[in-house]
């Protein structure tokens, strides 16, 4: 054990004192602002197959400068397959109307991951209201027309988008764990030769792919960097949501990774995204065929506040997310926060808050069920820390083996019922 006996006893006395008040009515819920509840989108045979939560642009790089007379080629790794697809494009954080020129999509197997290569005969153009281009107002999204295009489950869809005019700062997903490519001019109908790698792993503008087929629906995985896949190898699709997606295919369900690195429940964070309370409806409820959401949020509120944020405040935020999911007709499942002993910004007060929140998630009954990620990845001999075999090295983020343990800890019967 890495802690002194007296410190250990003091910590768990504090945890027990807080936990004692959590399951019942002793913690008042924060009232929701009166508003018409958002309802989950009707599926009409459609299901979300891939998604990325978006943020504002960085201070430097492609998202900051934008592009002009440039084609961006990006890869979406699909969960469920089907016979038709449509693609979603976001200008949520743009500063000017975004002109999208010609766009093509092409299916391919994952063997070509990390490359811009496609088969020319498989490239299919997208349209928007029957037109080959569209303009997206600031703060808005565009969804392409459906195109008949068979795509396999657990496969790549390559999306090539030509931006003919200066875009200004681009709406992005900063840590996409995938390589993007760019080429001068309109190269939407070209193979891989004209393209070069874009620095970093961000995704730009493209934020969702819907597939029409036989899927039962989709599950949203909502969270921060652990959901987003920090430490996961690039272009390998080994984040916990990726691995869970493979398991969910056995039940006919898609999986949508809506994690953002650095995201918090209660505070906006620039490229760490809007607060979970602010982005929940847009990032969870709007997807077609969504049936449930797994929520793993709160560790960054704890860390950044240096443990000063009370567990009751985190619990009330979770209660709001539960209420909004239920109002939309979705099941909501809480995920226990994983250990962060010895990581940057670790504090005793933060540990107390983490343990208290986890106790509430497990015992309150307010969620429709819970996923015990803490138990899946902690060291059974030193339960305040990650098991060494699952530690990426920063004592906060699990590695690939840890992500495997997380995916396997999810009760598929529970989240697809």
- Reported as a single tens digit per residue, the pLDDT across 93-120 is 999 999 999 999 999 987 899 999 999 9
Question: Which pLDDT score is estimated for 37?
Answer: 53
CB atoms within 10 A of CB 64: 14
- CA 213 to CA 192: how far, in whole Å? 29
Q: What is the dihedral of CA 112, 116, 117, 118, to 10 degrees?
A: 100
Q: 32 falls in which pLDDT band (50, 70, 90)?
A: very low
Say whether pLDDT at 239 is over 90. yes
Residue 44 pLDDT level (bands cut at 50, 70, 90): confident
Write down the mean pLDDT value for the chain: 92
Q: What is the percent of the chain where pLDDT is above 90?
A: 89
Q: Which residue has the tokens 């607060």?
A: 275
User: CATH top-level class for 5-30+216-415?
Assistant: alpha beta
Tell me the mean pLDDT in the region 27-44: 51
As a whole number of angstroms, the distance between CA 209 and CA 212 comes to 10
**Mean pLDDT value across residues 167-181:** 98
Assigned token pair, 365: 């009954």
User: Which of 67, 47, 49, 83 has its CA nearest to residue 161?
Assistant: 67
**Has residue 88 got a pLDDT over 50?**
yes
What mean pLDDT do residues 358-370 have? 98
Could you please report the per-residue DSSP string of 287-332?
STTEEEEEEE--HHHHHHTTT-S-HHHHHHHHHHHHHHHHHTT-EE
- Would you state the pLDDT for residue 109? 82
Which are the contacts of 301, defined by CB distance < 8 A and separation ≥ 6?
264, 265, 266, 267, 309, 314
Question: Span 73-94, mean pLDDT?
Answer: 98
**Could you report the per-residue pLDDT of 249-287, keeping only the tens digit for each?**
999 999 999 999 999 999 999 999 999 999 999 999 999
- Local confidence band at 6 (pLDDT 50, 70, 90 cut-offs): very low
**Residue 110 pLDDT:** 77
The pLDDT score that the predictor gives to residue 39 is: 64
Rounded average pLDDT over 180-202: 97
Q: DSSP labels for 122-178?
A: G-EE--BTTBS-EEEPTT-EEEPPPEEEEE-TT-EEEEEEEE-S---SPPEES--SS
Pairing of the two strands 370-371 and 331-335: parallel
In 2-155, DSSP assigns E strands to 46-51, 70-77, 82-90, 98-100, 103-108, 124-125, 134-136, 141-143, 147-151
123 is written with which tokens? Answer: 């490239």
pLDDT tens-digit profile of 377-399? 999 999 999 999 999 999 999 99
Neighbours of 229 (CB within 10 A): 28
Mean of pLDDT values over 318-345:
98
Rounded Cα gap, residues 411 and 367, in angstroms: 14
Q: How many of the other CB atoms lie within 10 Å of CB of 415? A: 23
Question: Is pLDDT of 36 > 90?
Answer: no
In the chain, where the domains are located: 5-30+216-415, 57-209
């Amino acid at each position: 054990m890495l802690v002194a006996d007296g410190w250990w006893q003091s910590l768990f006395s504090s945890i027990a004192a807080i936990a004692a008040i959590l399951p019942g009515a002793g913690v008042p819920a924060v009232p929701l602002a009166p508003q018409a509840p958002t309802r989950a989108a009707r599926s009409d045979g459609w299901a979300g197959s891939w998604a990325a939560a978006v943020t504002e642009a960085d201070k430097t790089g492609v998202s900051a400068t934008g592009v002009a007379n440039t084609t961006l080629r990006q890869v979406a790794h699909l969960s469920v397959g089907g016979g038709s697809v449509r693609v979603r494009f976001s200008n949520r954080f743009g500063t000017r109307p975004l002109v999208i020129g010609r766009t093509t999509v092409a299916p391919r197997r994952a063997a070509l991951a990390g490359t811009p290569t496609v088969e020319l005969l498989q490239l299919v153009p997208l349209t928007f209201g029957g037109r080959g281009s569209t303009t997206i107002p600031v703060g808005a999204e565009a969804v392409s027309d459906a195109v008949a295009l068979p795509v396999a489950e657990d496969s790549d869809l390559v999306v090539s988008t030509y931006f003919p005019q200066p875009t200004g700062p681009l709406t992005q997903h900063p840590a996409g764990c995938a390589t993007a490519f760019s080429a001068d001019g309109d190269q939407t109908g070209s193979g891989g030769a004209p393209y070069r790698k874009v620095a970093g792993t961000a995704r730009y503008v493209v934020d969702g792919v819907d597939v029409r087929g036989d899927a039962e629906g989709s599950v949203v995985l909502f969270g921060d960097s652990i959901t987003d896949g920090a430490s996961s190898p690039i272009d390998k699709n080994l984040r916990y949501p990726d691995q869970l997606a493979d398991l969910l295919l056995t039940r006919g369900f898609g999986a949508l990774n809506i994690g953002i690195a650095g995201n918090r429940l209660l505070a906006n964070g620039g490229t760490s995204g809007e607060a979970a309370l602010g982005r929940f409806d847009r990032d969870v409820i709007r997807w077609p065929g969504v049936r449930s959401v797994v929520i793993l949020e709160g560790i960054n509120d704890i860390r950044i506040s240096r443990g000063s944020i009370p567990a009751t405040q985190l619990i009330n935020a979770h209660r709001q997310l539960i209420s909004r999911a239920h109002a939309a007709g979705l099941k909501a499942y809480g995920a226990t926060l994983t250990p962060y002993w010895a990581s940057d910004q670790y504090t005793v007060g933060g540990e107390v808050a983490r343990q208290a929140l986890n106790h509430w998630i497990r015992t309150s009954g307010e969620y429709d069920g819970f996923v015990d990620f803490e138990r899946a990845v902690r060291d059974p001999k030193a339960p305040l820390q990650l098991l060494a075999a699952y530690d990426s090295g920063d004592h906060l983020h699990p590695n690939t083996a840890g992500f495997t343990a997380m995916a396997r800890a999810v009760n598929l019967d529970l989240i697809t019922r």
